[in-house]
């Protein structure tokens, strides 16, 4: 029986529509190609406009919003839309039973920047999960939770 690795590797790639992507963590776009405003860097803390636990991200958008994920789904995604944080860094922190399981950092490249990370799940991680957007100071900007349940085949 094969199990997913816990290692998280992140890379940043700029692609069409300003999409950036990382492995086990993914980074996506800004809708505009606008340059970062230096005044914004020092004056605005920014915010998380949207956040969702989802089964997939397509065309830079979550396909659904989940509160429960079954072990039938081996991968879960965390999508966030960040506003007014160009030039800053945020981190998606995945926690299970109070233990940090993964952290994926993103450099925010524009005034509206959509990012997502993913976690390959194992059947042994059944329980409650918390995924947070953490700013550079270590403060949470957004927190979402989901329950990971046993496979519907075994219930």
pLDDT surpassing 90 at residue 44: no
CB 60 within 8 A of CB 19: yes
The residue ranges of every structural domain in the chain are 20-149
Phi, psi (degrees; rounded to nearest 5) at 16: -55, 150
Looking only at the bridges linking them, the beta strands covering 47-54 and 89-96 are: unpaired
The answer to whether the predicted template modeling score (pTM) of the entire model surpasses 0.85 is no
How far is Cα 71 from Cα 26, in angstroms, rounded to an integer? 22
Report residue 153's pLDDT band, with 50, 70 and 90 as the boundaries: low
Q: What is the pLDDT of residues 66-75, one digit of tens each?
A: 999 998 888 9
Q: How far from chain centre, in Å, is Cα 22?
A: 10
Q: Work out the average pLDDT over 49-75.
A: 95
DSSP state of 110: S
Six token digits for residue 89: 């860094």
CB 23 within 8 A of CB 102: no
How far is Cα 72 from Cα 14, in angstroms, rounded to an integer? 32
Q: If you average pLDDT over every residue of the chain, what do you get?
A: 78
Report residue 154's pLDDT band, with 50, 70 and 90 as the boundaries: low
Q: Classify the C-alpha dihedral 128-24-28-139 as positive or negative.
A: positive
Q: CATH classification of 20-149, choosing from 2.60.40.1930, 2.40.160.50, 3.90.950.20, 3.40.1390.10? A: 2.60.40.1930
Report residue 20's pLDDT band, with 50, 70 and 90 as the boundaries: very low
Q: What is the pLDDT of residues 112-151, one digit of tens each?
A: 999 999 999 998 999 999 999 999 999 999 999 999 998 7
Other beta carbons within 10 angstroms of residue 86's beta carbon come to 23
């Amino acid at each position: 029986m094969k199990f997913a690795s816990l290692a998280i590797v992140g890379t940043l790639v700029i692609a069409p529509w300003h999409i950036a992507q990382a492995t086990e963590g993914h980074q996506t776009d800004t809708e505009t190609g606008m340059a970062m405003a230096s005044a914004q860097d020092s004056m605005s803390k920014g915010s998380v406009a949207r956040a969702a636990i989802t089964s997939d991200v397509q065309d830079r958008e979550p396909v659904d919003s989940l509160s429960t994920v079954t072990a039938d789904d081996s991968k879960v995604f965390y999508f966030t839309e960040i506003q007014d944080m160009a030039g800053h860094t945020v981190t998606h922190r995945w926690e299970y039973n109070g233990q940090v399981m993964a952290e994926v950092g993103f450099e925010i490249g524009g005034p509206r920047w959509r990012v997502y990370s993913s976690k390959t799940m194992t059947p042994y991680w059944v329980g409650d999960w918390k995924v947070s957007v953490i700013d550079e100071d270590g403060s949470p900007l957004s927190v979402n939770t989901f329950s990971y349940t046993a496979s519907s085949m075994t219930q």
